[in-house]
């Protein structure tokens, strides 16, 4: 009797300043090159990208994990993602990325947990794995989105208090 074969998950592998990320393809909205960021005073938010008449918060996993200052990408590429949370104020987020996108079909045995060099756990990384001999991070999108939701709440409150003054 054959065990039921689980379907492969079509995934993206994207390069960060240091390391790579694995994300499901269905979360990707668009890869944007260039585009000036409006500065942000909030830690973890590199800035705001104007995209399709929306302000999208741009985050860098490295700066969220405090591994380094936001690695300024030479290319200025942002990967726009659909969010996994149901917050109406946060339909999209953008991740700072480098290079192009590679796809990978992930089966249950494709990924191997890899704990090398993971001295301090970042709360925004769900798993550190090897995929095709490449060290990759699987981001904890609900945790990242929760932080951004707090930032958006703070921004809204600051805007309201500025209006009241």
pLDDT of res. 75: 60
Annotated domain spans of the chain: 9-164
CA dist list (Å): 151 to 48, 67, 144: 12, 20, 11
CATH number of 9-164: 2.40.50.180
More confident of the two residues 12 and 65: 12
**H helices then E strands: how many in the chain?**
2, 11
pTM here is 0.81
Condensed to tens digits (0 to 9), the pLDDT of residues 56-78 reads 999 988 888 876 554 454 567 89
pLDDT of res. 25: 94
What is the percent of the chain with per-residue pLDDT over 70, rounded to a whole number?
79
């Amino acid at each position: 009797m054959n065990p039921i074969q689980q379907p492969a998950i079509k995934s993206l592998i994207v390069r960060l300043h240091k390391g790579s990320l694995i994300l499901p393809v269905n979360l990707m909205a668009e890869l944007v090159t260039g585009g000036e960021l409006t500065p942000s005073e909030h830690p973890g938010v590199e800035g705001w990208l104007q995209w399709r008449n929306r302000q999208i918060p741009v985050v860098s996993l490295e700066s969220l994990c405090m591994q380094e200052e936001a690695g300024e990408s030479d290319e200025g590429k942002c990967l726009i993602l659909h969010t996994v949370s149901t917050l109406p104020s946060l339909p999209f987020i953008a991740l700072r990325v480098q290079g192009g996108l590679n796809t990978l079909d992930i089966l249950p045995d494709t990924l191997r947990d890899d704990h090398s060099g993971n001295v301090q756990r970042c709360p925004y990384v769900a798993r550190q794995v090897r995929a095709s001999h490449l060290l990759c991070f699987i981001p904890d999108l609900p945790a990242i989105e929760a932080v951004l939701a707090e930032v958006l709440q703070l921004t809204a409150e600051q805007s309201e208090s500025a209006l009241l003054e």
